[in-house]
């Protein structure tokens, strides 16, 4: 009994710590350029901090919401008062100060409670949950394989879709999952995203495909970008929009369901439960009964069942309706089928 309690406490602490880290990532805006002039350096710095809070607030709202929703939210006014209300702290990344001038690069951390309250007040749908971590594999249809891969020096900052960049070649969306999984597991992830670069110096587009144990899913094609560097940003924007379309909850109603969770080990049960708890569509997860190879859980979810199935699939989980009711299991044994978004 003590061992079970300790495991449960570890699970809760681990999930809570992860959620806190994810929250800070989602609510931090980095690399905000500032250049302010005033009678004193101190006054210029105060002006720069205020300007950073405002510029960062605009970027934050764009990060958490969709363009069509922002257009519909006519009561949303992002001004200095709004920015000062939601900001929690300003961090200095780089600075040069002197002769009444302050310039540099700042990062602003925003208060999740204040941001959520402000967006709810104007009825603007949003998501602040991070997508399941993915390993990005670069491929090309124009012979720029090495250049395209090396252009990804690091994952784009400020993305709601955390990416780990693979330097391995030879993988494709149709690579058997048991082969692809060996590479993905090295990064501690459960899914892959393939970014296929097309075009030439006249402009580039990238086709994006997400692959999990349950198979590949076409995300779509990015906007055309004039340079490879801008193509990377186009990938981040397309992935963010895809995630927001999936995870933003517009219906406040919840569906209560019970499900059987089937697993072969404690590690697999932890993975399945974590996937359920971390889904932005799921709330109030309860474990009603548990044994060595299965558990009985109850939870509420928002939206329709297909959205839940899709979200869990990206987390490596299959949920199906069977004669005994809903059954959740690892997606490793599920037959892959290509889906269009």
- Summarised one tens digit per residue, pLDDT across range 17-66 is 444 445 678 899 999 999 999 999 999 999 999 999 999 999 999 999 99
Tokens found for residue 295? 């558990």
The confidence score (pLDDT) of residue 103 equals 96
Strand partners, 115: none
What is the sign of the dihedral through the CA atoms of 276, 281, 283 and 287?
A: negative
Question: Are 139 and 175 within 8 A, CB to CB?
Answer: no
Residue segments in the chain with a per-residue pLDDT below the cut of 70: 1-23, 332-341
CB 207 within 8 A of CB 340: no
Q: How many CA atoms are closer than 13 Å to the CA of 22, on its beta-carbon side?
A: 19
Q: Answer for the pair 57, 139: CB distance below 8 angstroms, yes or no.
A: no
- Mark residue 226 as left, alpha or beta (left: phi above 0; alpha: psi -120 to 50; beta: remaining): alpha
Calpha distance 132→109 (Å, rounded): 22
Token pair of 138 as six digits: 């670069």
Could you tell me the pTM of the whole model?
Answer: 0.76
pLDDT at 332: 63
Q: What are phi and psi for residue 73, nearest 5 degrees? A: -85, 75
Q: What is the DSSP string of 30-59?
A: EEEEEEEE-SSHHHHHHHHHHHHHHHHHHH
């Amino acid at each position: 009994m003590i061992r079970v309690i300790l495991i449960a406490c570890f699970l809760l602490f681990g999930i809570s710590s992860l959620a806190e880290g994810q929250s800070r990532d989602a609510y931090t805006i980095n690399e905000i350029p500032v250049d302010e002039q005033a009678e004193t350096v101190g006054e210029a710095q105060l002006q720069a901090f205020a300007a950073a809070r405002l510029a960062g607030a605009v970027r934050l709202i764009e990060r958490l919401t969709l363009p069509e929703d922002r257009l519909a939210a006519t009561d949303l006014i992002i001004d200095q008062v709004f920015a000062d209300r939601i900001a929690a702290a300003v961090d200095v990344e780089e600075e040069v100060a002197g002769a009444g001038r302050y310039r540099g690069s700042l990062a602003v951390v925003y208060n999740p409670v204040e941001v959520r309250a402000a967006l709810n007040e104007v009825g603007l749908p949003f998501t602040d949950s991070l997508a399941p971590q993915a390993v990005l594999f670069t491929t090309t249809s124009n012979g720029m394989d090495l250049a395209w891969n090396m252009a990804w020096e690091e994952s784009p900052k400020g993305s709601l879709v955390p990416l780990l960049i693979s330097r391995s070649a030879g993988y494709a969306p149709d690579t058997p999952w048991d082969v692809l999984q060996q590479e993905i597991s090295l990064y501690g992830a459960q899914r892959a995203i393939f970014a296929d670069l097309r075009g030439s110096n006249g402009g580039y587009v990238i086709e994006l495909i997400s692959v999990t144990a349950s198979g590949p899913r076409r995300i779509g094609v990015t906007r055309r970008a004039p340079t490879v560097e801008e193509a990377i940003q186009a990938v981040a924007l397309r992935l963010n929009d895809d995630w927001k379309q999936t995870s933003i909850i517009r219906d406040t109603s919840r569906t209560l369901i019970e499900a059987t969770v089937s697993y072969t080990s404690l590690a697999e049960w932890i993975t399945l439960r974590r996937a359920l708890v971390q889904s932005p569509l799921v709330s109030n997860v309860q474990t009603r009964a548990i044994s060595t190879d299965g558990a009985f859980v109850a939870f509420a979810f928002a939206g329709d069942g297909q959205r839940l199935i899709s979200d869990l699939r990206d987390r490596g989980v299959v949920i199906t309706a069977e004669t005994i009711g809903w059954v959740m299991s690892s997606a490793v044994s599920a037959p892959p089928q290509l889906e269009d978004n």
